[in-house]
Amino acid sequence: MHVPTLAEITAEGKKPEVLFWVGCAGSFDDRAKKISKSFVKILQKASISFAVLGTEESCTGDPAKRAGNEFLFQMQAVANIEVLNSYSVTKIVTTCPHCFNTLKNEYPDLGGKYEVVHHTQLINDLLKEGRFSISGSYYKGKRITYHDPCYLGRANQVYEAPRKLIKKLDAELLEMKNCKEKGLCCGAGGAQMFKEPEKGNKDINIERTEQALKTNPDIIAAACPFCNTMMSDGLTNKEMDENVEIKDIAELIASAEGI
């Protein structure tokens, strides 16, 4: 798959419509790489001109900031902003709600002002503009429950964009006991992804997976690579990974469209 870098495109004297900020998970994590690829397929099918930063991309600093290392966060942010501004980037799309939140909310104050959208929002826009359509009945009648990522939902009030896409799949959208404003965290936020949990009587991802399983789903839909990992682990723990799949919304759409 050819994924153009911003350096290449700029060298050709062109400017892409949108920069795809892949994020560390989307670049390095085996599970999340599949999400990146699915999303690129959607961008290609919609014939949208896009580019990635490739080796010029670096961690947004989100996990450092939430872990309390504001210094490291700001160093990362300033360096990334320098790269983004040198290319005069105006619009960024990302498949990771953590990158999305940081780029959108915390970079402007440090000199990085861009239009930042989550991939579920961009896909909705493409549908609205008629540049992309979801026709497949691949998931018709499937039971899909959607897990709200904290940094997309509560943090930025994006509740409907992912849900609209699931409904477009002709699937049955099931809501968990805790959803939208009351969505339960998968347990990865605030840099928890990178450490062992504190002592307790249960892991958060198990609690959340149990809530998801109560809806008796065929598929758990996620919109965050970290939620995806946490819920996958939860399914394995519950020995339900054979019966229930965990898929990013980009993956659902790509497979529905057979791309």
Partner 1 sequence: MAYLSNILFAILFTSSIFLFRRNFLLIKRNILLGKNIDRMDRPKERWLNMLRVAFGQSKMVSKPVSGTLHLIVYIGFIIINIELLEIVLDGLLGTHRILAPYLGSFYSFLIASFEVLAALVIISVILFWTRRNLLKINRFWNPEMKGWPKKDADFILYFEIILMSLFLFMNATDFLLQNLEVPNYVKAGYFPVSQFITPFFTSFSIQTLIIFERTFWWLHIAGILIFLNYLYYSKHLHVLLAFPNTFFANLDPKGKFVNNKTVKKEVKLMLDPNIDPYASIDSGSESSKFGASDVLDLNWIQLMNSYTCTECGRCTSECPANQTGKLLSPRKIMMDTRDRLEEVGANVSANGLFKDDGKQLLNNYISQEELWACTSCNACVEACPIGIDPLSIIMDMRQYLVMEQSSAPGDLNNMMSNIENNGAPWPFNNQDRLLWANDN
Q: 172 to 201, contacts with partner 1 by CB under 8 A? A: 181-185, 187-201
Query: What is the distance between the alpha carbons of residues 206 and 231, in angstroms, rounded to a whole number?
Result: 8
Q: Does the protein bind partner 1 through residue 9 (CB under 8 A)?
A: no
Q: Do residues 107 and 113 make contact, with C-beta atoms less than 8 angstroms apart?
A: yes
H or E segment and range at residue 172: strand 172-174
Residue (of 84, 82, 63) closest to 72 by Cα position: 63
The residues in 68-127 that bind partner 1, with binding defined as CB under 8 A, are: 68-72, 74-76, 78, 101, 104-106, 109-110
Q: How far is the CB of 41 from partner 1 (least distance, A)?
A: 11
CB of 197 to partner 1, least distance (A): 7
The nearest distance, CB 170 to partner 1, in angstroms, is: 29
Choice from 15, 31, 45, 67 touching partner 1 (CB under 8 A) = 67
Nearest to 112, CA basis, from 87, 80, 71: 80
**Could you tell me the strand order of the sheet in which 219-222 lies?**
172-174, 143-146, 219-222, 245-248
Our finding on whether 50 is near partner 1 (CB under 8 A) is no
User: How many binding residues for partner 1 (CB under 8 A)?
Assistant: 73
Residue 12 within binding range of partner 1, rule CB under 8 A: no
* Binding flag, residue 8, partner 1 (CB under 8 A): no
**Two structure tokens written together for 134:** 């979801």
Q: Tell me: does residue 54 bind partner 1 (CB under 8 A).
A: yes
